[in-house]
Amino acid sequence: MDIAKLALRGVVGGLFVGHGTQKLFGWFGGHGPEATGAAFESMGLRPGRRNAIAAGAAEAGGGALLVLGAATPLAATTVASTMITAIRKVHAPKGPWVTEGGWEYNAVLITAMAVLAESGPGSPSVDSKLFPDWHGRRWALATLAAATAGSYLIDALSEPAPEDTASAGDPDVTAAAAEQARFAKEQATAPHGS
């Protein structure tokens, strides 16, 4: 039994299940797809709701696979991709330190995913029984490459901001925009930010 890998998978995977379900269902103090989608819109991830659901599914699904040690390279890719996107969209301009809203925590998680893809999930795990060869240097490199490509693909699939001259000065629209900006700022100051 690989105690350290089991603990890593259980903690990181379990927390990502929670993090994803915050986006998908508003569980564990999350904001659900509508409010998370509004924050994503303010970060240029349009349509926001669709991107919030995709991020939530990647986090919850990837986290569940990590806990099980199943399809570990895929699990690591989905988790790493959301963290790369969080760095690119929120944390990069703030420098490395999490105390300033930076990207250090995200980088640690990305590195942990690469380590699991390279070394495997350990035992007990689904992969150790069914896919014992699904790990190694090439799997780790593929995980990092696919996670990076997936993060940038989000930009390519995002829609441009709509031109909205009709609602300029509308107090309801202004209040909604202020609430979206407040939520986006709140999300940006969280350690993980995605």
What are the tens digits of pLDDT across the range 12-65?
A: 999 999 999 999 999 999 999 999 999 999 999 999 999 999 999 999 999 999
DSSP result, 140-191:
HHHHHHHHHHHHHHHHHHSPPPPP--TTTT-HHHHHHHHHHHHHHHHHHHSS
Q: How far apart are CA 52 and CA 42, in angstroms?
A: 12
Asked whether the bond before 124 is cis by omega within 30 degrees of 0, the reply is yes
Q: Quick one: what percent of the chain has pLDDT higher than 70?
A: 84
Model confidence at 162, in pLDDT bands (50, 70, 90)?
confident
Higher pLDDT, 58 or 174: 58
Inform me whether the pLDDT recorded for 147 exceeds 80: yes
DSSP state, residue 71:
S
Inform me whether the pLDDT recorded for 189 exceeds 70: no
Comparing 107-111, 173-177, 189-193, the range with the smallest average pLDDT is 189-193
- Look up residue 59 and give its two tokens: 């986090």
Amino acid occupying residue 138: R
Inform me whether the pLDDT recorded for 72 exceeds 90: yes
Q: What is the pLDDT of residue 174?
A: 58
Any residues with CB less than 8 A from the CB of 56 and at least 6 apart, and which?
20, 21, 22, 23, 24, 33, 36
Q: What is the pLDDT of residue 161?
A: 83
Inform me whether the pLDDT recorded for 68 exceeds 90: yes
- Look up residue 148 and give its two tokens: 């990076």
Q: What is the pLDDT of residue 145?
A: 98
Digit-coded pLDDT (tens) for 95-133: 999 999 999 999 999 999 999 999 999 999 999 999 999
Q: What is the pLDDT of residue 180?
A: 65
Angle between helix 32-42 and helix 48-68 axes, rounded to 10 deg: 110
Q: What is the pLDDT of residue 128?
A: 97
Model confidence at 172, in pLDDT bands (50, 70, 90)?
low
Model confidence at 191, in pLDDT bands (50, 70, 90)?
low
